Amino acid sequence: MLELNYLLHHPTGPARKAVQVNEFNIRVNVCKEIAMEDIKVRLSTLWIFVMFNMVFTDIIGFLNPGALEEMIAMKTSQTVLLAFSILLEIPIAMIVLSRILRHKANRLANIIAGVPTILFVMGGGNTSASYLFFATIEVTCMVMIILCAWKWTKYQC
């Protein structure tokens, strides 16, 4: 009994060292989980920021003289509207997916989703100063998303 007491309570005993190793492993694992959640929150927040900019780009674009009349006169087909809807759904879905996907799928989804969204923003607007301003912010933010996902390792802490 005395020997067991020594092993458990002596500051340099083998049992104490094992406890210290387990405490270290727990701390490292908790740190990794916090870092992973932090990156997920950061990516999701960036996608929210992109979406707000996309929405306000359109709202302000409607204020341009003749913009609404021009849109009404275009007679856009259902296929084109569906394509635009799918492209707009990508950043909306990424807000949620960035938080719920596991590391590998999350990283891949953010990288892949950023590319068509950048192309959509760059090719889908006009040359007004307000559009160019918002598009610059959106593209910069999406490049940040792609870089963050690209550099995100499973063992960051």
Encode pLDDT of 51-92 as tens digits. 999 999 989 988 888 877 887 788 888 998 899 899 999 999
Residue 109 lies in a domain: yes
Residue 35 lies in a domain: no
| The predicted structure's pLDDT at residue 26 | 57
Residue 98 lies in a domain: yes
Give the chain's domain count.
Answer: 1
Average pLDDT of the segment spanning 99-110:
95
Q: Could you tell me the pTM of the whole model?
A: 0.73
Q: What does the alpha-carbon distance between residue 129 and residue 118 come to, in Å, rounded to a whole number? A: 18
Helix-strand-coil percent breakdown of the chain, rounded to 5? 85, 0, 15
Supply the range of the domain harboring residue 48.
42-151
Tell me the two tokens of residue 10. Answer: 């002596």
| The predicted structure's pLDDT at residue 157 | 38
Average pLDDT of the segment spanning 111-119:
95
Residue 12 lies in a domain: no
Residue 55 lies in a domain: yes
**Containing H/E element for 32?**
helix 14-62
